[in-house]
Structure 1
Amino acid sequence: MENKSRTILHIDINHCYAQIEEMLCPPLREVPMAVGGDESQRHGIILAKNIKAKPYGILTGEPIRSALKKCPELQIVQANMQNYLYYTSKIKEIYHEYTDRVEDFGLDEAWLDVSDSLNVFGDGLTIAQEIQRRVLHEYGLTVSIGVSFNKVFAKLGSDYKKPNAITEITKDNFQDFAWSMPVDDLLMVGRSTAKKLALMNIKTIGDLANSSVTTLKNKLGKMGVLIWSYANGMETSEVTLETFELPPKSIGNSWTTPKDITNTSEAKIVLERLSNSVACRLREKQLMGKVITLSVRDTNLHRFTHQRKVEVALDTCNEILSIIMELLGESYDFVLPIRSIGVHVSGLVKTNTHYQLSLFEDTIAKAKSRKVEIVLEDIRQKYGFYSVSQASALVDKNLSHVDPKGSHTTHPVGFLKGSL
């Protein structure tokens, strides 16, 4: 793959959530508008904003109340993930008409390797123009597209000009085009890394490209070598085939609860839901895990994690919940209420992989418990998530009325795995 000339597109649906809301309700295009979480459920942050809201300095991720202070007439539309999932999946069906190498990067972005499609559809720019035209014509949405010879510069291109733009970065022009840009415009250079680079007087992508790779490795470790290679156009990772999925390193869910959790009984209601979600997803992927982790954030926004490694890999809600409740009892005293809480399982192995059996484990009881959970999941899939619940879930519906599995977005181990 390294010696073959490639044509990579990175496509970004501009202001995705806000654009979809505008498509469904065109008058929203004429007013400052933002998509936000439900303030009553304490997910009150800005998730996306439209072009009319941009001049007010409204930021993605800021509290809704803060945004309204900047722009009192701002229209807040509550997020509808079902709509966003539906329309982004339909748009990505268009991408798949041009190549089977489509790799999602979040809900609204994707890389396409169209190298093997050039003889059929034309060069990269032609394909980009056609996809852009079709998305606008068929769904009324604009996309920005970067066209380049690798994934990093393709994304840099799509970020460069928005909305509804196409930018090409080639092997011949990438130095002139990219090297004058701020270093944190480069993929994988976040705020923390940019601060470290600034201390080394590295402020642009060109500064990074022309730095000593040995010095970067000494200061930043492998990350230093990685971003140096990106700046020099040496990124070579492949766009993943649509039928190929990298195995995850962990599976988990967390939830910011609609009210503070003040005791163990309330925590158990939420943790049962989260443990069930994690167990179902483990079984769907035919995985089991040996490391169980509890994460907690209190009302002062302090966060801690507590984990336990088990001898025998597991994939059932009962097993996960039992360990999670032990971890909670060992590590949290409820001096401060809990604001958000999470359950994660790592140390994953395939279910059909041979794993060590415990001499003290009741394997028959475990098998029965697993079968019961599978039956319950089948019922939920047929009749809805809330069709069957544990009795404890009825104690407080504010805490139990959540389907973490249904609203979960899975992220792969890593989206860039090329040689340096």
Structure 2
Amino acid sequence: MNKDRVILHCDINHCYAQIEEMLSPACRDVPMVVGGNEEARHGIILAKNLKAKPFGIKTGEPIRDALRKCPGLFVIPPKYDKYQYYTEKVKDIYREYTDRVESFGLDEAWLDITGSQSLFGSGEQIAKEIQDRVFEELGLTISIGVSFNKIFAKLGSDMIKPKGLVIIDEENYKIKAWKLPVEDLLMVGKATQDKMNKLGIFTIGDLAKTSVKLLEKKFGKIGVLLWSYANGSEDSPVDPTVHKRTPKSIGNSWTTPKDITNFREAKIVYERLSNSVACRLRESGYKGNVIHISIRDTKLDSCTRQIKIDHYTDTAKEILQIAMNLLDENWNRQFPLRSIGVGVTGLKPFTTHTQYDLFGEVEERENETKVEVVVEAIRSKFGFFKIDKCSALLDTRLSNVDPKANHTIFPVGVLKGSIK
């Protein structure tokens, strides 16, 4: 093991499904998946337990396909608040061993324990102790990879599930890592895999031995980066501040329970989404000056459009108005919509100085924000649907959603470092 760095990658096995089993132990004895609401067209498998694995059920496939494979499959709607709560409890255990913990989504994290070995033992000893504590204290199993960089640590945690512990060091990485399929490497998606396969690159070892000049010619900078990953040259730091950085965008999208055929229906959805975005902006402490929308019709054709405004906003009313204007300009009405999104970019901390105008527009926006904050407070205390606009009653199928509570949290880890 490289004495300069010891990195762990910890992965909570089948995270959502495991937490559901912890909350309801009877679920351990039946094939079970966590998935969305089929009737609301959110019927995708998010996680599966070990009992469901023999049926060939895959994460990301439609629930209806999974039910064909296993008619007795038990489907549980996701409880994101519970998943956040328990995964944070797991990370609290990680932080008892090091303050260098970088989250990679809810269920994964890198730990730099280089400076912790004098207190807690070797990387392998620390990994084993963390595994045991997470299981004893929370009833969850985790797989851990131990290595000298983040890439190989993640490869290690992926190799054995559940509760695997794999060490990939400078002496054995060519034996353990190079035999793995190239698609196991972080940042190698299906398109990149297909291109590499056409070049005769099927394993990580094949990639490591390929001319870096050829990779740069075929893939650009990403080819050079992936070559460095395969050769163990990745040296990005474990960065606890990744999730605290200014986000590039705050937005929400929704696949609606029925097709959107007119602007009245679209406005109901955009009103919900705009309120969610504005609330999340304020909670994060940001305003933005670029509003963007995304739409997808029943033919699965997509369109994204944006507009930059001359001030920064975190007001739902303004976001909604701009979103509807963009929709009016870009939806040809030929086909109904089945997915709608809105977001804000160009973000800055809300403490940025505000330039007041002569016509009271800033004051009007600030008054509107105050009203929205009061509504949020009422919803927070009494429930989202306890206070609403009359327009929400026009179509309760479209308004019966709290997008802020349901929005998915995606991985935010970023790999940065020199390429040797």
TM-score interval for Structure 1 and Structure 2 normalised by the shorter chain: over 0.9
The 2-side partners of 1:418 and 1:381 are apart by 41
In structure 1, give the amino acid aligned to 2:340: I
In structure 2, give the amino acid aligned to 1:277: S
Aligned to 2:92: 93
The 1-side partners of 2:3 and 2:371 are apart by 52
Does the 8 Å CA contact 1:311/1:356 hold for their aligned counterparts?
no
Alpha-carbon offset, residue 4 of structure 1: 7.5
In structure 1, give the amino acid aligned to 2:387: V
C-alpha change, 1:407 and 1:294, in structure 2 (3 Å) is same
CA RMSD of aligned residues (A): 2.1
The answer to whether 1:235 aligns with 2:234 is yes
The answer to whether 1:322 aligns with 2:310 is no
Fraction of identical pairs, as percent: 59
Alpha-carbon offset, residue 188 of structure 1: 0.6
The 5 A counterparts of 1:126-145 are 126-145=125-144
The answer to whether 1:217 aligns with 2:243 is no
Partner SS, residue 52 of structure 1 = coil
C-alpha change, 1:373 and 1:24, in structure 2 (3 Å) is closer
The 2-side partners of 1:210 and 1:393 are apart by 60
The 1-side partners of 2:155 and 2:214 are apart by 25
Deviations 1:364-396 (A, max 9, x none): 222222222223223333333223222211222
Alpha-carbon offset, residue 44 of structure 1: 1.2
Does the 8 Å CA contact 1:289/1:347 hold for their aligned counterparts?
yes
The 5 A counterparts of 1:235-254 are 235-241=234-240, 245-254=244-253
Aligned to 1:170: 169
Aligned to 2:364: 365
Aligned to 1:52: 51
The 1-side partners of 2:47 and 2:293 are apart by 30
Aligned to 1:265: 264
In structure 2, give the amino acid aligned to 1:340: S
C-alpha change, 1:77 and 1:243, in structure 2 (3 Å) is closer
The answer to whether 1:160 aligns with 2:159 is yes
The 2-side partners of 1:65 and 1:184 are apart by 27
Aligned to 1:419: 418
Deviations 1:135-155 (A, max 9, x none): 211222211111111111111
Aligned to 2:18: 19
Alpha-carbon offset, residue 23 of structure 1: 2.2
Aligned to 1:377: 376
Partner SS, residue 51 of structure 1 = coil
The answer to whether 1:192 aligns with 2:213 is no
Q: Answer with 397-406 or 376-385: which moved more.
A: 376-385
Deviations 1:210-257 (A, max 9, x none): 222222122111211111111111112222226961211111111112
The 2-side partners of 1:93 and 1:299 are apart by 44
The 1-side partners of 2:267 and 2:124 are apart by 54
The 1-side partners of 2:360 and 2:415 are apart by 41
Deviations 1:143-196 (A, max 9, x none): 111111111111100001111110011122112211121111101111111111
The 5 A counterparts of 1:21-36 are 21-36=20-35
The 2-side partners of 1:407 and 1:60 are apart by 19
TM-score by length of 2: 0.93
Q: Where in structure 2 are there 5+ consecutive unaligned residues?
A: none
Does the 8 Å CA contact 1:100/1:242 hold for their aligned counterparts?
no
The 2-side partners of 1:106 and 1:412 are apart by 4
Aligned to 2:312: 313
Aligned to 1:204: 203
Q: Where in structure 1 are there 5+ consecutive unaligned residues?
A: none
Q: Answer with 13-22 or 120-129: which moved more.
A: 13-22
Alpha-carbon offset, residue 333 of structure 1: 3.5
Q: Answer with 375-384 or 392-401: which moved more.
A: 375-384
Does the 8 Å CA contact 2:243/2:412 hold for their aligned counterparts?
no
Q: Answer with 329-338 or 104-113: which moved more.
A: 329-338
The 2-side partners of 1:55 and 1:386 are apart by 41
The answer to whether 1:286 aligns with 2:291 is no
The 2-side partners of 1:49 and 1:314 are apart by 41
Partner SS, residue 343 of structure 1 = strand
In structure 2, give the amino acid aligned to 1:363: V
In structure 2, give the amino acid aligned to 1:198: N
Q: Answer with 79-88 or 127-136: which moved more.
A: 79-88
In structure 2, give the amino acid aligned to 1:259: K
Q: Answer with 283-292 or 405-414: which moved more.
A: 405-414
Partner SS, residue 233 of structure 2 = coil
The 2-side partners of 1:72 and 1:112 are apart by 41
The 5 A counterparts of 1:289-300 are 289-300=288-299
In structure 2, give the amino acid aligned to 1:381: S
The 1-side partners of 2:417 and 2:356 are apart by 37
Q: Answer with 145-154 or 307-316: which moved more.
A: 307-316
The 1-side partners of 2:236 and 2:120 are apart by 23
Does the 8 Å CA contact 1:249/1:413 hold for their aligned counterparts?
no
Alpha-carbon offset, residue 339 of structure 1: 1.2
The answer to whether 1:275 aligns with 2:254 is no
In structure 2, give the amino acid aligned to 1:245: K
The 1-side partners of 2:21 and 2:368 are apart by 47
C-alpha change, 1:354 and 1:221, in structure 2 (3 Å) is farther
The 2-side partners of 1:177 and 1:296 are apart by 44
Does the 8 Å CA contact 1:17/1:35 hold for their aligned counterparts?
yes
In structure 2, give the amino acid aligned to 1:119: S
Does the 8 Å CA contact 2:105/2:413 hold for their aligned counterparts?
no
Q: Answer with 91-100 or 402-411: which moved more.
A: 402-411
Q: Answer with 137-146 or 359-368: which moved more.
A: 359-368
The 5 A counterparts of 1:386-397 are 386-397=385-396
In structure 2, give the amino acid aligned to 1:263: N
